[in-house]
């Protein structure tokens, strides 16, 4: 998988990040940042809530704003308790450690899921847990027959690791923000429990899934034994995530958070931002999904042999664009660059920021800082670049 940070590039010139929005030939450069939904900035309401938050020492369990957040989230997710942590990566690691109590335990998960690929192998290097990756299907699901074979492989054997956990990701980032069907979640739960394993959901973008399905988040969590939930992606908070589960599970999770250095003091300043993100989710996330869908349909209408997208696969705030005829990194550089020709032809200077995703695709992610107008500007910039690439 390709992951690189790119600076805006014009022929022969490296442009510093801080200069990306400066004028080009007297025309202000407009930046549309589609790299991730983690790039958002707190708005006025969120900043005001952070400044006015009532705080205490959360490591002593005395921060009232953290208490408020944890109680609201527990009710929303349909779990007994939740616990505030700095990041969703820590939430996932705590969850794995809470379920897999013996060193050498096995966790089953998708080979392209975030927990397996992008979290530094923490379950192995810190928790001593063995990950067994299974092939991901295009929808972000696992083949249930393959899952059952993996669950039963070590049963009663003194040679195989003992499988104690199945991890799912909803929405599934590497599949392009696809939503896991509720019936699939139910079937995974039944399989796992039948073989003595539990189920953890990486719900970093769970609210996106709930909005897409028009279901309460609790409906997506009811078939899981634990869940992580992130506030610093589509919900727009600068920091924070939750672990959710039973009272006993969260009691052990508190000890693990402390061991990992995740105990925080006056964390209500951060919890206040998360509360605002939750309150605004039902307004913001449908708008993000709609903008992503409009972009996908607009790009499809361009009918380019270089870039293709299937709007039917765009279920939330992500669009995976297949690229043919040039490396995705080259396409990203062209979309980030501004030229005199662009300004002359379009009257605008637009920089679209995004990452190569695979050797044949790029991923674009919508969020609260990308408006419908930004979406249209990104599409027009894409059209200009594709026109320049015609033979």
> Are the beta carbons of 355 and 35 closer than 8 angstroms?
yes
**Where, residue-wise, is CATH 3.90.1150.10 in the chain?**
30-41+282-389
CATH-assigned architecture of domain 30-41+282-389: Alpha-Beta Complex (3.90)
Going from the C-alpha of 365 to that of each of 63, 86, 140, 283, 285, the distances in angstroms are 34, 22, 17, 17, 12
**Where, residue-wise, is CATH 3.40.640.10 in the chain?**
44-279
CATH-assigned architecture of domain 44-279: 3-Layer(aba) Sandwich (3.40)
Q: What is the pLDDT of residue 10?
A: 33
pTM of the model: 0.91
pLDDT tens, per residue, the chain with 391 residues: 333 333 333 333 333 333 345 555 567 899 999 999 999 999 999 999 999 999 999 999 999 999 999 999 999 999 999 999 999 999 999 999 999 999 999 999 999 999 999 999 999 999 999 999 999 999 999 999 999 999 998 777 888 999 999 999 999 999 999 999 999 999 999 999 999 999 999 999 999 999 999 999 999 999 999 999 999 999 999 999 999 999 999 999 999 999 999 999 999 999 999 999 999 999 999 999 999 999 999 999 999 999 999 999 999 999 999 999 999 999 999 999 999 999 999 889 999 999 999 999 999 999 999 999 999 999 999 999 999 998 7
Q: What is the pLDDT of residue 25?
A: 58
Q: What is the pLDDT of residue 365?
A: 98
- The kind and range of the H/E element at 76 are helix 64-77
Q: Which of 221, 214, 132, 142 is nearest to 175 (CA)?
A: 142
Q: What is the pLDDT of residue 299?
A: 97
Whole-angstrom distance, CA of residue 48 vs CA of residue 64: 17
Whole-angstrom distance, CA of residue 193 vs CA of residue 252: 21
Largest separation between any pair of C-alpha atoms in the chain: 73
Q: What is the pLDDT of residue 389?
A: 92
Q: What order of strands is seen across the sheet that includes strand 106-110?
A: 81-85, 241-245, 226-230, 198-203, 163-169, 106-110, 130-134
- The kind and range of the H/E element at 174 are none
């Amino acid at each position: 998988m390709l992951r690189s940070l790119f600076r805006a590039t014009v022929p022969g010139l490296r442009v510093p990040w801080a200069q990306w929005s400066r004028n080009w030939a007297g025309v202000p450069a407009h930046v549309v940042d589609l790299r991730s939904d983690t790039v958002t900035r707190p708005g006025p309401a969120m900043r005001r809530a952070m400044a006015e938050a009532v705080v205490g020492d959360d490591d002593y369990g005395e921060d009232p704003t953290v208490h408020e957040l944890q109680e609201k989230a527990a009710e929303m997710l349909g779990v007994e308790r939740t616990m505030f942590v700095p990041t969703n990566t820590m939430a996932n690691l705590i969850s794995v450690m809470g379920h897999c109590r013996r060193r050498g335990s096995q966790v089953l998960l998708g080979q392209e899921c975030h927990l397996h690929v992008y979290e530094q192998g923490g379950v192995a290097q810190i928790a001593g847990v063995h990950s067994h990756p299974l092939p991901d299907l295009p929808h972000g699901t696992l083949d249930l027959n393959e899952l059952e074979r993996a669950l039963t492989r070590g049963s009663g054997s003194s040679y195989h690791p003992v499988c104690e956990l199945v991890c799912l990701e909803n929405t599934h980032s590497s599949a392009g923000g696809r939503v896991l069907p509720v019936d699939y979640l139910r079937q995974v739960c039944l399989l796992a429990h039948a073989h003595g394993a539990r189920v953890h959901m990486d719900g970093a973008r769970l609210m996106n899934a709930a909005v897409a399905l028009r279901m309460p988040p609790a409906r997506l969590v009811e078939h899981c034994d634990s869940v992580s939930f992130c506030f610093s992606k589509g919900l727009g908070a600068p920091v924070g995530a939750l672990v959710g589960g039973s009272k006993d599970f969260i009691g052990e999770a508190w000890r693990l958070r402390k061991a990992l250095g995740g105990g925080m003091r006056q964390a209500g300043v951060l919890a206040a931002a998360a509360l605002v993100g939750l309150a605004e989710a039902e307004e913001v996330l449908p708008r993000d999904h709609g903008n992503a869908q409009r972009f996908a349909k607009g790009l499809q209408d361009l009918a380019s042999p270089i870039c293709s997208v299937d709007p039917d696969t765009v279920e939330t705030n992500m669009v995976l664009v297949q690229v043919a005829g040039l490396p995705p990194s080259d396409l990203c550089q062209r979309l980030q660059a501004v030229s005199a020709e662009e300004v002359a032809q379009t009257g605008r200077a637009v920089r679209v920021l995004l990452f190569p995703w695979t050797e044949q695709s790029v991923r674009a992610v919508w969020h609260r800082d990308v408006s419908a107008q930004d979406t249209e500007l990104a599409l027009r910039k894409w059209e200009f670049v594709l026109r320049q690439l015609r033979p």
